[in-house]
Chain A
Amino acid sequence: MSDLDDATRSAVAELLLSLADDEFVIGFWDSEWTGIAPMLEEDVATSSIAQDEIGHARALYELLAALTDDDADRIAYGREPDAYRHAALLDHRRGDWAFSVARRYLYETADAVRLASLATSSHEPLALLAGKMRREETYHLLHADIWLRRLAASPDSSGRLADALRSLWPDAQEIFAILAGEEALVRGGVLPTPLRALHAEWQQHVRPVLEAITGPLPDAVPTLGGRERHGDDFRWLHGEFTMVARQEAGVTW
């Protein structure tokens, strides 16, 4: 990637980090369902999807490591909590099943919009990877969509689902939070569509689906720092997923 100037390279790095951290953190949150999902089959399905997300994160961290001459494991496990750049949507513990389904639906729909654009990125390794990820994410989205409809249709769960969607709605916008150096990314075609345009596209798609469940949702837009505020839930998760790596620093697996 020697053809990139320093400013663009660091903007690409910021973009890759945001994508990777999103996948990494939702993968770890959803893996918290392993062993306790609503039924055995769902347990396997949820765990497998969570594992797919960690796999996507790994591929993205490797792209980032190649770009910045770093190490993928170091990036994944060697940072302090404040250095992670996942969106605020992913900063909450897994909650109950309705909460996890609500979050997965919000995330998968937003991720689908983002990946569709990135599949045409001028940064070729990212375009290739986004294309591959989309093939798996289509299946993840289908799974989240089935569960959203199931929970919405049952009187036992529709109230919980609606509450979860309403409470996560503002933080879901942050998937499209503006990135440092975004202008350079758009100019160079690394990010073929500006995040605010992707955000509008996503809202247009999900708002009617969600409002059928929740009633009217407030206007909401991404905010500055929507990927930088992390709370105690994430600090706990960070402690969990770095536990093994911290035991023997620098060890090779």
Chain B
Amino acid sequence: MSSHERVWEVFRQEDEGDPMVHAGNVNAPDEELAVHYAREFYGRRGESHRLWIVARDAITELDDPDLLKPPLDRSHKKPGGYIIKHKLEAAKQRAGAAE
């Protein structure tokens, strides 16, 4: 049986509206049992409002460091590089004067 097992990633939501958070994974030979096992591992104590059960092989992964951690300086891609405090104050004043 183990030769047919697949890994299923499980995401859980604690309450309606909460983000879906990765909870862990289960081994199961098919989707039906994956749903059962996900419920047993991540929902049997009433701790979850909703579960997402996704076959790991259905997930597209990106972990290429050339794309995610490029060697060149990326500071110009970060919002921290811009100081907008004075521009914001000036905009507020303009808005106040227009009222």
State the A residues within 8 Å of B (CB): 38-42, 44-45, 48, 139, 142-143, 146, 150
Q: Is B13 an interface residue (CB 8 A)?
A: no
Q: Which residues of A contact B1 (CB under 8 A)?
A: 38-39
CA distance A42 to B33 in the complex (A): 9
Of the listed stretches B34-42, B55-63, B67-75, B76-84, name the one at the interface; the rest are far from the partner chain: B34-42
Whether A39 contacts B36 by the Cβ 8 Å rule is no
Please list the 6 inter-chain residue pairs (A to B) with the smallest Cβ-Cβ separation, ordered nearest first.
Answer: A41-B37, A45-B40, A146-B32, A44-B40, A48-B40, A41-B26
**B interface residues (Cβ-Cβ under 8 A, vs A):** 1-2, 5, 26-29, 32-33, 36-37, 39-41, 44
Residues of B within 8 A of A146 (CB): 32-33, 36
Contacts of A139 in B (CB 8 A): 36, 39
Say whether B33 contacts A41, CB under 8 Å. Answer: yes
Q: Do A41 and B44 touch (CB < 8 A)?
A: no
B32 adjacent to A45 (CB under 8 Å): no
Number of A-B contacts (CB under 8 A): 31
* Extra A-B contacts (5), CB below 8 Å, given A39-B2, A45-B40: A39-B27, A41-B27, A41-B37, A45-B37, A150-B29
A41 touches B28 (CB 8 A): yes
Q: How far is the CA of A249 from the CA of B5 in the complex (A)?
A: 47
CB A127 to nearest CB in B, in angstroms, measures 23
Bound together, the chains give a CA A44 to CA B41 distance in angstroms of: 8
Residues in chain B near residue A143, CB distance under 8 A: 36
Instruction: Name the B residues within 8 Å of A38 (CB-CB).
Output: 1
How far, in angstroms, from A194 to B47 measured CA to CA in the complex? 40
Query: How far does the alpha carbon of A38 sit from the alpha carbon of B37 in the complex, in Å?
Result: 13
Distance in Å: Cβ of A45 to nearest Cβ of chain B: 5
Pick the contact of A39 from B5, B40, B41 — CB < 8 Å? B5
The docked-state distance in angstroms from the alpha carbon of A44 to that of B40 is: 7
Closest chain B CB from A51 CB (angstroms): 9
Contact B44 A48 (CB under 8 A): yes
Which residue of chain B is the closest to A146 with respect to CB atoms? B32
Q: In the complex, how many angstroms separate the beta carbon of A105 from the nearest chain B beta carbon?
A: 15
Nearest chain B CB to A24's CB is how many angstroms away?
20
How far is A38 from B33 in the complex, measured between Cα atoms in Å? 13
Closest CB of chain B to A28's CB: distance in Å? 19
